[in-house]
Structure 1
């Protein structure tokens, strides 16, 4: 089986709650490699590129506000079937639906006012993974 790469973002709520180490440990305990890691801040321009399919949605401003709340840890992970594996580790997008033992089930929150804090993003397919890696790790793109 070919090695895949994926982008993982530990969102501002995960960083603020000090879950970085626990999340990385879960990734490594599954046998995936960490090939890139940095603490960064999102920008409105970067978020518009990352969430290009959601920019025109009425809820995009909430996503943008959430992702601009603080630092983000961006990770490139690789391994056999890493995209599916990280999705399984992350759990359902909604923390209230995510199983205990998953990252979102253990660390995510859905507040009474409908505010969603789901701690982590991971790429959903190999094409998006490579696109997202180029967006969040432009320094890794070979220069001519």
Structure 2
């Protein structure tokens, strides 16, 4: 009499004391081996697909990183250019002098024209209601 430990569908081992022909057991073992080979092949295929997917994702990330790096370089150049423009404008403005013009008129619109430091424009002056009217001949 032969003793065998077989697995049932619940995964628990069951002991049987029966006489089985050795060909039936070898056939079952061969079927189990073939089934396991099939499962192994399937898992290897899945693993290969996942590996390829990871490689594709890595390549996409490398490309994205290169594109972001290039865009960042462009942005830094643009910032440097704008900073240089700002500094040049500030230096130009530092050379200008503020001028106060006092005037007395009954008109609604006063325009000032002149040439100051290369500036040649007409400027419309708005009435400042908060200012005081100075009644002096020197203020004209």
Same-fold call, TM cutoff 0.5: no
TM-score, normalised with respect to structure 1? 0.21
Of structures 1 and 2, the one with the larger relative CO (CA 8 A, separation 6+) is 1
Higher fraction of strand? 1
Normalising by structure 2, we get a TM-score of 0.21
